[in-house]
Structure 1
Amino acid sequence: MMHIDQVHLNFNPQALLALNLVLALVMFGVALDLKLSDFKQALRTPKALAIGLLGHHVLFPAGTYLLILALNPLPSIALGMLLVSSCPAGHISNFFTHRAGGNAALSVSISTLSTVGAVFMMPINVAFWANQHEGMRAILRDFSLDPLSMLFEVALLLGVPLALGLTMSHRFPKMAARLLKPMRVFSLVVFGVFVSGALLANWKFFLAYGAMVVGIVFIHNACALASGYGLGKLTGLAERDCRAVAFETGIQNSGLGLVLIFNFFGALGGMAIVTAWWGIWHIFAGMALSTYWMKKPAQAAKAGA
């Protein structure tokens, strides 16, 4: 069996362009539902918002680096873990937070601001933490990664569709309202079909190398969810806010991570497989945790504490 980093996933340039467009479409659909009042509302609870963003942009990448030191995975797998931890929050976290009885408004605010912040924080986190590790530093050197190029790519993939969606929502609210539901359903269905197709096309690689990443992703994701919730508890947030912070820390936009791996790292096998598996696993983990919390309302949890 070949080394995991010699694996080249079945993903041609046309498919990569399609993935970029699909991701932009998803972000545009998300932005149609955003209003300036959402940001004003978020600022009314600055403590919870700041803690959520701190957990997402600082605690999780730093904790991931410590986990890499503890588990000592292959450098490419380690860099995939680091890239995932630096991604903005996945917007399915809003669904899980609502389902779990968490603070959905806080969840939306953290997701949105983490997406905006990721334009700058993602290249910074990847460059800083990867350069502290010899193996990851060698990969960055081999691929001549330029953080400014990554910043531009992330801004293009996230910033432009968000700006267009926010502009339409603000200037043409009736049109945005009409487009919101069909656009959201269409973009998510297209994204789901695309990911499913890519998974099926590369299924043999997941069967061959999945054992190398399944346990790592499980531990990594569990640590993310637990650290987000724990940070909320340690800082005295309400139970509903703690649940929101947990999902905002543990549910990542791994689709963006995959795009960057193909654009900047030549679809390096270890990075691609760990990121793709994360994108599958965090849905199962989010459903399981939100189901558990759904049966344990936040008010009851607080009363029993």
Structure 2
Amino acid sequence: MNELDSVQIHFDNNSLWILNFSLAIVMFGVSLGISLNDFKRLLVQPKLVLIGVLSQFVLLPFFTYLLILLIKPQPSIALGMIMVAACPGGNISNFMTHLAKGNTALSVSLTAFATFLALFMTPFNFEFYGNLYKPTSEIIKSVELNPFELVKLVLLILGVPLFFGMFLRSKNEVFANKVSKILKPFSIILFVFIVVIAFVNNLDVFRNYIQHVLILGISHNALAIFLGLFVAKLFGLSFINQKTIAIETGIQNSGLGLLLIFTFFNGLGGMAIMAAFWGIWHIVSGLILALFWSKKSEKLIAC
């Protein structure tokens, strides 16, 4: 391993527990806005479901693997890319889609379905592609990653909050909406606060090594966005749905990726730096793209 692969991010057990809790709260807040109707709506339009799943859980991990084979980044960075690609869409994708004048209902439904599917697909894709590439498989073997423990953590962080949030909404939708309005901004602020504290505590690490992930992280994110756009266009979806699939594919739940990295890889240098950079950059790229599409839609309406 080179110097970057031996870099350890400073993140103690207390911070890890707080990250666990905040991410679970974020997911609970998101699930309060999800109902069984969201899943039923997708069953009415199975083509949209299949395209969304194909783009996010099949093609993105596969093309990430091809990009790694082509560029051959340092092993821990490559494993960070695989981790990000294996995660479901980020919970801010609904906001980005709304801003871009995409199909917000489809975005919410896909987020719900992707969160459910991630309980199985995130561990599978990470294990499969992580072990398929020899340099990253050596890292996985060195930490003796237990696939069962990986699945268990994903179930606890995504599955349990999803179940209880949807259950509360099914029992009292009015109350769930009120709680959601309070909980969503609070949980996001809490999560951002934790990330900022972690960034400040590791400022020297980021300053010294950010150049290793800057171009690669931007390129990887661009690949995800254009992949979603191309796949949706290839299957003849409307431009509104093309924007939605692109955003759902390009906005990844890097917070979950960071949690898994800190839990199983002790904040391994390149992995954590790549996931942390993704967490910042996909917000920037998503906002730029959403604002561009929003302005484009306004011009089309004006014409």
Q: TM-score, normalised by structure 1?
A: 0.96
Kindly tell me: are residues 52 and 81 of structure 1, through their superposed partners in 2, closer, same or farther at Cα, counting changes over 3 Å? same
Match of 1:251 in 2: 251
Q: Which residue of structure 2 lines up, in the alignment, with residue 68 of structure 1? A: 68
- Counterpart check, 1:108 vs 2:108: yes
C-alpha displacement of 1:44: 2.1
Identity %: 44
Which residue of the partner structure matches residue 235 of structure 1? 235
Which residue is equivalent to 1:19? 19
Matches within 5 A, 1:122-141: 122-141=122-141
Partners of 1:181 and 1:74 lie apart in 2 by 42
Correspondences of 1:96-245 after superposition (within 5 Å): 96-245=96-245
TM-score, normalised by the number of residues in structure 2? 0.96
Name the structure 1 match of 2:286.
286
SS, match of residue 90 in structure 2: coil
Structure 1 residue 93: deviation in Å? 0.8
RMSD over aligned Cα atoms: 1.5
Supply the AA of the counterpart residue of 2:75.
Answer: P
User: 1:299, CA displacement in angstroms?
Assistant: 9.7
The CA distance in 2 between the partners of 1:82 and 1:8, in whole Å, is: 19
Provide the rounded CA distance (Å) in 1 between the counterparts of 2:160 and 2:109.
18
Counterparts of 1:35-74 in structure 2, within 5 Å, are 35-74=35-74
- Secondary structure of 1:43's partner? helix
Contact kept? 1:254, 1:276, Cα under 8 Å: yes
- Partner amino acid for 1:43? L
**Is this contact kept in 2: 1:240–1:298, CA < 8 A?**
no
- CA deviation string 1:186-241 (max 9, x = no partner): 11111111111111111111110000000000100000000000000001111111
Amino acid in structure 2 at the alignment position of 1:236: G
Aligned to 1:5: 5
**8 A Cα contact 2:22 2:191, kept in partner:** yes
Single out whichever of 45-54 and 242-251 deviates more from structure 2.
45-54
Letter in structure 2 aligned against 1:222? A
Q: Name the count of aligned residue pairs.
A: 301
Relative to structure 1, the CA distance from residue 78 to residue 298 in structure 2 (aligned partners, 3 Å threshold; closer, same or farther) is farther
Q: What CA deviation, in whole Å up to 9, does each residue of 1:12-68 have, x standing for no partner?
A: 000000000000000000011111222222222221121011110000000100000
The answer as to whether partners of 2:5 and 2:75 remain within 8 angstroms in 1 is no
| Amino acid of the structure 2 residue aligned with 1:112 | A
Unaligned runs of 5+ in 1: none
CA distance in 1, matches of 2:295, 2:125: 36
Q: Could you tell me how far 1:178 is from its partner in structure 2?
A: 1.9
Secondary structure of the 1:296 match is helix
The AA in structure 1 aligned to 2:218 is: F
**Does the CA-based 8 Å contact 1:94-1:107 persist in structure 2?**
yes
Q: How far did 1:145 drift?
A: 1.2
- Is the 1:222–1:250 Cα contact (8 Å) retained in structure 2? yes
**Contact 1:101 1:298 (C-alpha < 8 Å) held by counterparts:** no
